[in-house]
Amino acid sequence: MAATGQILNSLANLPEARVGLVLYGHRVGWNTASPTQILRQTNYALPIPDVLYPYEDYEIVLPFGRFGKSEDASLQKILQTVQPWGETPLYLSIQSALREMNSKSLGGKQQIIVITDGINKQLNPSADKYVSLSTLLNEDFGQTAVNIVGFGIEAADSQTAASEFEQLASRTGGEYLEINDAGSLLQKASGYFNKQEYTVSAGEQTFVDQKSFTQPAGQPVRLDIEFNQRIPASVNFNGYQAGLVLTPGDHFQLVTNPQERRLDSLPYTNRSPSFTNLRNASGKSRYQLGVHRPILTRESMNIELSLQDVDSKPISKPTAYRVILRPISKQRILDQQQYLIAGNAFMTDKPAPVISISALKWPREATSVQVTCSILEEVIPVDSYSTLAQLKTDPRVALLDAKLVREDPNLLILVQNLGSTSLLIKPTETLTSTQTEVDSQNELLITRLYFTTPMDQEQVKNLKFHVLETGQQSWLHNYATPVTVPVDIEDTLKPRTGPFLLR
């Protein structure tokens, strides 16, 4: 507990610090000589509940909040009476710490620092107190990073600790490392609370005055990049580095990889994705497709697809994607009801390129979905974009109508005959999302474009689009083998924002 006391001492000197402290495995334990007998820690400074089992022995000693000299002094007295005593309900303790922080959070970046000498262990816990790793990974971490320091982990548990703790750390943007001496433990744990900075060095064609930008860790660097530009860049944080290629609309979130001494992309693991590698002409592509477990609501089947690097390195958005969703009922594909979408709209503020799709009128008997995805990496030439006036005379498109919604001038609706083409809009700063509906009965393709500010007819005239032929051979250059996943039924949920596919 000496290192914990010193860390708290340093935090008491930070006027803006908000701190909480959770202890676990410190009050009760099983008597090894008499396995049904519980031994209580007699020297502990705080009261111990009359009924307390070792598998549930965690305690919020200091609720999350402001922390100063008086709070520090009280904790130091308690810590002098703490000693390892029972089991290690580690995940239950982390879950409790997270929920305590979430209930009192002011928003923004937060950290949970875990110091443990062992792996999660709960002996015959009750159902309401048992927390597994998978349960913990499904908690709402938001912007809370979990950093785990293994201090004196036994050799027999080292492999399990590395496997489980690295999953948790990666899921939250934190890190896991093992330390075996008190000096290194104090230095590492204290470093989490120091204000640290990172530097982004971009290429010369960034259209900004400086080539390098420095920000406190957790704060974004925003760069203005012209359409169709691909800017090489590097990021440096305490000697950890990553190389990037910046394109308009990219949103990178990086975490340290102590084993490789580099910066990796924060994994996107929302709703337990199944991964498959994309393939190209030379074999395996650097992209892997994450198919995140879909949800069926009353209105639609909602699914997210992510594109992530096979080695966890930062990766840019592809130029476009083509997705085919096939409903499956009783192990049979319902071919007559397949959904196809091609586009270039990705979700914002995600650590990887994420496609969000809502398929309307999903057959209720379909309990699974087969997903096929291919991507296009070719840069689209600037001169291949056309205005709406030009598209109306393009026989490939058969554009029937393009109009602003009078009640909502932030919304532009395009209507075209259903065929083998889709429209990719040239990205603009005001475009927020794109939704596509397929009306197979009337053979119409309806595209809805949402903007942050109201549009007028002159601005609409200046919008430009690329005609994307969904059957072109280039799609075969990066494709994933079909992935089948079950569909969860959750009628209480609302459909997610994303391209809407209507049959």
253/132 same-domain check: no
Residue 501, in any domain of the structure: no
Q: What is the pLDDT of residue 453?
A: 87
3-class secondary structure, 185? helix
Residue 502, in any domain of the structure: no
319/287 same-domain check: yes
Instruction: Output the tens digit of pLDDT for each of the chain's 503 residues.
Output: 667 887 887 788 776 778 999 999 999 999 988 888 999 999 999 999 999 999 999 999 999 988 888 999 999 999 999 988 889 999 999 999 999 998 886 666 788 999 999 999 999 999 999 999 999 999 988 888 899 988 888 878 888 998 899 899 888 888 888 887 666 676 677 677 766 788 998 875 444 444 788 887 767 888 888 777 788 899 998 888 999 988 877 888 888 787 788 899 888 887 889 999 998 877 778 899 999 999 998 878 889 999 999 999 999 888 888 888 999 998 898 867 778 777 787 876 788 999 888 887 788 899 999 999 989 888 788 888 899 989 888 888 888 888 898 888 889 998 888 777 778 888 776 777 666 666 656 777 777 888 888 999 999 999 988 888 766 666 656 788 899 999 988 644 333 334 334 33
Tokens 């102590």 — which residue?
A: 258
Q: What is the pLDDT of residue 230?
A: 80
323/416 same-domain check: no
Q: List the beta strands (DSSP E) in 165-230.
A: 176-179, 197-202, 212-216
49/90 same-domain check: yes
Strand-pairing partners, residue 65, are 19
Q: What is the pLDDT of residue 328?
A: 94
**Which of 265, 295, 314 lies at the terminal end of a domain, its last residue?**
265
186/208 same-domain check: no
Query: What is the residue-wise DSSP string for 130-174?
Result: ---HHHHHTS--TTEEEEEEEES--HHHHHHHHHHHHHHHHHHT-
Could you list the residue range(s) of the whole structural domain that residue 157 is in? 2-191
162/174 same-domain check: yes
Neighbouring residues of 402: CB distance < 8 A, sequence distance ≥ 6: 388, 412, 413, 414, 415, 460
The total number of structural domains that make up the chain: 4
Q: Work out whether strand 300-309 and strand 283-296 pair parallel, antiparallel, or are unpaired.
A: antiparallel
143/76 same-domain check: yes
Q: What is the pLDDT of residue 502?
A: 37
373/386 same-domain check: no
Separation of alpha carbons 81 and 60, rounded Å: 16
**Which of 141, 173, 191 lies at the terminal end of a domain, its last residue?**
191
**CA distance readout (Å), 97 to 91, 119, 226, 354:** 10, 17, 44, 30
